[in-house]
Structure 1
Amino acid sequence: MSRRWIKEFWAIIWILCVCVLSLLPFIFFRRVIHNDLAVQALPLLIFGNDAFRSGTVPFWDPFQDCGVPHFSNPQSHLWYLPNQLVFWTSGYSLYSIQYEFIFHFLIAGLCFYLLARKFKLSQAGSCLASVSYMLSGFFIGHSEHMNILATFAWLPLILAGIQGWLDEKSPKNLWLSGIGFWLLIQGGNPSANLIAFFFIGLFLLVRLAERIYDRGFNLNLFREFSQMLLVFIIAFLISGISIVPILADFSEYTGRQQGIPYQTALEFNPLKPWELITLILPSASLSGIMPAFNETGSPTMINCYFGLISLALALFAIYVRRDRSRLILLSLGLFALLIALGSRAIFRGLLFELVPFLRMLKHPALFRGAFILFFCILAGMGLDDLIQADNSALKEFRRAVLLLVVSLCLIFGFASVVSFALTSRDQETAMLLKDIFLETLPIQIALLIALYFWLRSKKNFWSIGILFLASLDLSLMVQANMPLMGQYLDQRTRKILIESVENRSRKIDHITNLTRIDNWRLFQNNGMLYKKFETSDYTSINSITYEKIMNTGFHKVIAEAPFFFIVPAVSMIDQMENALPIFSRAAQKNLMPAMVSEEPPLEIKVRSELLYALESLDSRNVRVINYSINRVELQITNQAPAVLGTTEAFHPGWRAWLDNKPVKTIRFNFAFRGIYLPDPGTHILIWKFQPKSFYLGVLVSSLGIISLGSWILICFLFRKL
Structure 2
Amino acid sequence: MKKISEVLLISIILICFLFAFFWKAATLRGLFITPDIDTQDTICINYAYKNFLSESLRFNKSFLWTPYIFNGYPIHSEGQGGFCYPLNLLFFRFLPTFIAFNYSIIFTFFIAGFFTFLYARILNLSKTTSLFSAITFMFSGFFILHVKHLNMIQAACWIPLLFLLIELFLRTNNMMYSILIGVIFAFQILTGFPQIAYYSFLSILLYIFSGIFRKKKIITLILAFFIISLVGAGLSAIQWLPTYELVKLGIRESGVSNDFLTTWSYRFKDLITFFKPFYYGNIVDATYPFYNKNIIFWENSFYFGLLPFIFILIALIFEFKKNQQLKIFLIFILIFFTIALHNELFLTNILKNILPGFKYFRIHQRILFIAIFLISIFSGFGFEFVKNKIPQKFQKAFIIFIPLAFLDLFRFGINQNPTYDPKKWLSFPESAKILQMDRSIYRIDTFSDYIQDLLYRQNKGWSNNTDSYYYFQNFLTPNSNMLYHISMVSGHIALQTNRVSKFEDIYRHKIAVIAPKNDFSFIEFSTREAILFGIQNGKYIISAYPIKSESLKLRIDKILKDFSYSIYENTKFVPRVVIVPKAEIFKDETKILDYIQSGKFNPFKTVILEEETNFGSDTINIREVKIKKYENSEVVINTKSSSDGYLVLNDTYYPGWKCFVDEKEEKIFKANYLFRAVFLSKGQHVVKFMFKPKSFEYGKIATFITTIIILTFGLTIVKKKNILRRK
TM-score by length of 2: 0.78
Aligned to 1:556: 533
Greater Cα shift, 704-713 or 463-472: 704-713
Residue equivalent to 1:160: 164
Q: 1:275 aligns with which of 270, 279, 286?
A: 270
1:514 match: 441
Q: Describe the shift of the 1:168–1:660 C-alpha distance in structure 2 as closer, same or farther (beyond 3 A).
A: closer
- CA separation of 1:331 and 1:591: change in aligned 2, threshold 3 A: farther
Residue 568 (str. 1) matches residue 568 (str. 2) = no
**Counterparts in 2 of 1:123 and 1:176: CA distance versus 1, 3 Å:** farther
Aligned to 1:198: 202
Q: Of 150, 153, 163, which residue of structure 2 is paired with 1:149?
A: 153
* Other-structure match for 1:105: 109
Range moving further from structure 2, 369-378 or 141-150:
369-378
Indicate conservation of the 8 Å contact 2:637/2:686, yes or no: yes
Corresponding residue of 2:312? 314
Question: What SS is found at the alignment partner of 2:630?
Answer: strand
Per the alignment, residue 687 of structure 1 pairs with 689
Give the aligned partner of residue 609 of structure 2.
596
- Percent identity between the aligned chains? 21
Conserved in 2, the CA contact under 8 Å of 1:43 and 1:528?
no
Give the letter for the 1:495 counterpart.
K
Aligned partners of 1:154 and 1:270: how far apart in 2? 25
The 1-side partners of 2:485 and 2:317 are apart by 54
Aligned to 2:302: 304
Secondary structure of the corresponding residue to residue 72 of structure 1: helix
Cα deviation for residue 532 of structure 1 reads 2.5
Q: Secondary structure of the residue that 1:566 maps to in structure 2?
A: strand
CA spacing shift, 1:711–1:345, aligned 2, 3 Å: same
One-letter amino acid of the structure 2 residue matched with residue 282 of structure 1: P
The change in CA–CA distance for 1:348 and 1:683 in structure 2 (over 3 A counts) is same
Match of 2:511 in 1: none
Change (3 A) 1:139 1:526: closer
What RMSD in Å do the two structures reach over aligned CA positions? 3.3
| Partner Cα distance (1:515, 1:114) in 2 | 53
Query: Of 29, 53, 58, which aligns to 1:53?
Result: 58
* Alpha-carbon separation, structure 1, partners of 2:131 and 2:165: 18
Deviations, residues 19-69 of structure 1 (Å, cap 9, x unaligned): 221222332434632321212222222222212222223222111121111
Secondary structure at the counterpart of residue 621 of structure 1: strand
- Quickly say closer, same or farther: Cα 1:572–1:709, change in 2 above 3 A: same
Distance 2:290 2:482 in 1: 43
Instruction: Tell me, yes or no, if the aligned pair for 1:234 and 1:707 is still in contact at 8 Å.
Output: no
SS in 1 for 2:119: helix
State the one-letter code of the partner of 2:624: N
For 1:656, the equivalent position in structure 2 comes to 659
Distance 1:259-1:542 versus aligned 2 partners, 3 A rule:
closer
The CA deviation at 1:16 is: 2.4
- 1:17 deviates by 1.9
Please say if 1:581 is aligned against 2:594.
Answer: yes
Q: Does the 8 Å contact 1:268/1:364 carry over to 2? A: no
**Residue deviations 1:195-224 (CA, integer Å, cap 9, x gap):** 12112212222x232133xx6x3xxx6346
Identify the residue that residue 608 of structure 1 maps to in structure 2. Answer: none
Picking from 403, 407, 411, the partner of 1:476 is 411
Give the Cα separation in 2 of the matches to 1:210 and 1:382.
23
- TM-score by length of structure 1 reads 0.78
Change (3 A) 1:111 1:620: farther
Deviations 1:277-317 (A, max 9, x none): 21112238345676599645532212120111012212221
1:71 to 76, 100, 113: 76
How many angstroms apart in 2 are the aligned matches of 1:462 and 1:621? 81
Q: 1:659 to 1:112 in 2, by over 3 A?
A: same
Q: Retained in 2: the 8 A contact 1:572–1:598?
A: yes
- 1:145-544 to structure 2, matched below 5 A, reads 145-169=149-173, 173-174=177-178, 176-205=180-209, 207-212=210-215, 217=217, 222-223=219-220, 226-227=223-224, 229-252=226-249, 254-265=250-261, 267-283=262-278, 285-286=281-282, 291=289, 295-322=293-320, 323-389=323-389, 459-479=394-414, 482=415, 484-487=416-419, 489=420, 494-498=422-426, 514-519=441-446, 520-521=475-476, 527-533=483-489, 535=490, 537-544=491-498
Q: Given residue 43 of structure 2, which amino acid in structure 1 is its aligned partner?
A: A
SS in 2 for 1:704: helix
Measure, in 2, the Cα distance between the counterparts of 1:460 and 1:41.
Answer: 44
The alpha carbon displacement at 1:485 in A equals 2.0
Output one character per residue of 1:205-253: Cα deviation in whole Å (capped at 9) or x when no partner. 2x232133xx6x3xxx63465246424422421222222222222212x
C-alpha deviation, 1:467, in angstroms: 2.0
User: Is the 8 Å Cα contact of residues 637 and 680 (structure 1) preserved in structure 2?
Assistant: yes
Query: What secondary structure does 1:65 align onto?
Result: coil
Q: Distance in 2 between matches of 1:512 and 1:81?
A: 36
Query: Is the 2:581–2:606 contact (alpha carbons within 8 Å) kept by the matching residues of 1?
Result: no
Shift of 1:640: 3.0
Tell me the SS of whatever aligns to 1:143. Answer: coil
Alignment partner of 1:68: what SS? Answer: coil
Give the superposition deviation at 1:375.
0.9
Q: Relative to structure 1, is the Cα distance of residues 293 and 704 closer, same or farther in structure 2, using a 3 angstrom cutoff?
A: closer
Change (3 A) 1:563 1:289: same
Write the deviation string for residues 125-159 of structure 1: whole angstroms up to 9, x where unpaired.
21111111100011111110001101110121111
Shift of the alpha carbon at 1:74?
0.5
Give the AA of the match of 1:384. E
